[in-house]
Amino acid sequence: MNLHRVPSWSSVLVCAALLPAAPASAGVEPVLVASGLSAPLRVTAPAGDFRRLFVVEQGGRIRIVKDGLLLGGSFLDLSGRISSGSERGLLGLAFHPLYRRNGRFFVNYTDPQGNTVVSEFAVSSNPDFATPGSERVLLRQTQPFSNHNGGHLAFSPIDGTLYLGLGDGGSGGDPQNLAQNDGTWLGKILRIDVDDRDPGKEYAVPSDNPFAGRTNPRPEIWAKGLRNPWRFSFDRSIGDLWIGDVGQGAWEEIDWQGASSKGGENYGWRRMEGFHCYDPASGCLTPSLTLPMLEYAHSATPPRCSVTGGVVSRGASVPEIAGRYLFADYCSGEIFSVRRLGNEVIDGRNHRAEWVPAGGGRSTA
């Protein structure tokens, strides 16, 4: 059975390879923003803060690049409260949409036992330092294995709810079939309201969550069937959600939902990996599953292994890629982009040859 509802990424890549390198992003020049960081894995800033970038280091520190200079200290140092290494660490950071008024921000990390913690912290009277003692734990998730911890946090630009991603718990092949199990948060994207509290909770379940008022599926669940949604993002202009879901052994995928989605999507894992049956090995596709927007194969030169979901570019300073969705592969170091047309993506480009930062290089790890 041909499961390909849209062109597979392998065919998109063929098109990309035929494009001349220069016109793909003429005028787009990578620049070195900061150096001297340790395993930086997230860069963000509060809304309206145009002087600072906040850089998350896997080992637990949040650093600030201010007016182009990396500050010496840490905005927050959680290295004594977390486990780090491989897929563990300080993994996520999101500023409250009204941060400039309330100074609240949220982190996602693995604790010393390797379990997931999502916490709120507050800034101090000095805007370049948070208050370490201000931690309020919103939720915890026991992790059965060390890998696939997700860890991303992002606020919806439409309604200000907080979305957080959790992988399938780990190991390989989702041995307990947790991503399809509605009774656990593992293998899901959750949606919560951090400005209110339900009885017994440090947050509220939004009343328009797809399973609000239920206990199974658990009411925080927004989408299921995810293996490790390591990075996802909202298109800040129109609110679409793009999810990079890391694959098992053969296929990496990007999932997408429009801003009008009411939630409840099942993105297929472990029944499917990309557009392909995984477990069961055949007859996996059911009407309840949402297929990826695109996939790409590990089999390539250089080899690919793990997708890092990116963002839809809306920066006025780079009109050449305006509206394009950017993403990357961890092993090959390639950066790709596509354009969305309805429910499909077109015009795939591979920017690997053009976007090697001056003074830096692409990872080969």
Q: Can you give the binding site for Ca ion, defined by CB under 5 A?
A: 143, 145, 148-149, 170, 267-268
Number of helices (H), then strands (E), in the chain: 2, 23
Give min distance, CB of 279 to Ca ion, in A: 12
User: Length of the chain in residues, anyone?
Assistant: 365
CA distance 243 to 224: 12
Nearer to Ca ion, 169 or 310 (CB): 169
CB burial class (10 A; 0-12, 13-18, 19+) of residue 135? middle
Nearer to Ca ion, 25 or 110 (CB): 110
Q: Which of 47, 55, 51 is nearest to 68 (CA)?
A: 51
Nearer to Ca ion, 244 or 268 (CB): 268
Q: Are strands 76-77 and 90-95 parallel, antiparallel or unpaired?
A: unpaired
Give min distance, CB of 157 to Ca ion, in A: 24
Residue 230 CB neighbours (<10 A): 26
Nearer to Ca ion, 145 or 330 (CB): 145
Q: Which of 105, 155, 92 is nearest to 134 (CA)?
A: 105
Using CA atoms, how far residue 299 sits from 10, 32, 296, 306, 352, in Å, is 10, 31, 9, 12, 17
- Angle among Cα 198, 132, 51 to the nearest 5 degrees reads 100
The neighbouring-strand residues paired with 252 are 296
Nearer to Ca ion, 134 or 261 (CB): 261
Continuous segment of H or E residues that includes residue 365: none
Give min distance, CB of 348 to Ca ion, in A: 19
Give min distance, CB of 188 to Ca ion, in A: 13
Q: Which residues of 193-222 are buried (b: 16+ CB within 10 A; e: fewer)?
A: bbeeeeeeeebbbbeebbbeeeeebbbbbb
Nearer to Ca ion, 24 or 223 (CB): 223
Nearer to Ca ion, 149 or 350 (CB): 149
Give min distance, CB of 232 to Ca ion, in A: 13
Give min distance, CB of 35 to Ca ion, in A: 31
Give min distance, CB of 204 to Ca ion, in A: 26
Give min distance, CB of 92 to Ca ion, in A: 14
- Contacts of residue 18, defined as CB under 8 A and 6 or more positions apart, other chains included, come to none
Tell me the three state secondary structure of residue 312. strand
CA distance 261 to 258: 6
Nearer to Ca ion, 129 or 145 (CB): 145
Q: Which amino acid, residue 80?
A: G
Q: Which of 187, 164, 186 is nearest to 93 (CA)?
A: 164
CA distance 350 to 337: 7
CA distance 307 to 251: 9
Which pair of structure tokens corresponds to residue 155? 């606020």
Give min distance, CB of 343 to Ca ion, in A: 15
Nearer to Ca ion, 60 or 268 (CB): 268
Nearer to Ca ion, 83 or 143 (CB): 143
Give min distance, CB of 233 to Ca ion, in A: 17
